[in-house]
Amino acid sequence: MAKVHLRHIAHTRTGDKGDDSNVAVIVYDKKDYELIRRRVTAERVKRHYAGVVKGAVVRYELPNLGALNFVLHNALGGGVTRSLAIDAHGKSVGCYLLDLEIETD
């Protein structure tokens, strides 16, 4: 089975609220939405961010937009005003998710 890095079929947008980060994965071509819906699960994202995301990962499906939105709880070291991390807003979270390799059908 062939594999592809997520960055070749999608882009991301990120945001933060307190100690939580969210990352939306948006496909370039709607034909790839079903592929990411099947392969990019909350569990897979949690494993991808092992050691970074301390809480749960919750996935929301947005099929009309060709997107999945993930909320990463306890992911920012306490939030912008408390974190000692270089990226306390979590903007690099999206870039890192694009490195995820998934199997194609």
Q: For residue range 25-67, what is the model confidence (pLDDT) as tens digits?
A: 999 999 999 999 999 999 999 999 998 899 999 999 999 999 9
Query: Residue range 1-17: average pLDDT?
Result: 93
**CATH assignment of 3-103, among 3.40.50, 3.30.70, 1.10.3470, 3.40.190:** 3.30.70
How would residue 81 be classed by pLDDT, with cut points 50, 70 and 90? low
Determine which helix (DSSP H) or strand (DSSP E) holds 35, and give its type and residue range: helix 33-39
pLDDT (0 to 100) of residue 88? 45
The identity of residue 91, as a single letter, is: K
pLDDT surpasses 80 at 105: no
pLDDT surpasses 80 at 79: no
By the 10 Å C-beta count (0-12 exposed, 13-18 middle, 19+ buried), 45 is classed as buried
Closest CA to 52 of 18, 85, 17: 85
Helix, strand, coil percent content, the chain, rounded in steps of 5: 30, 30, 40
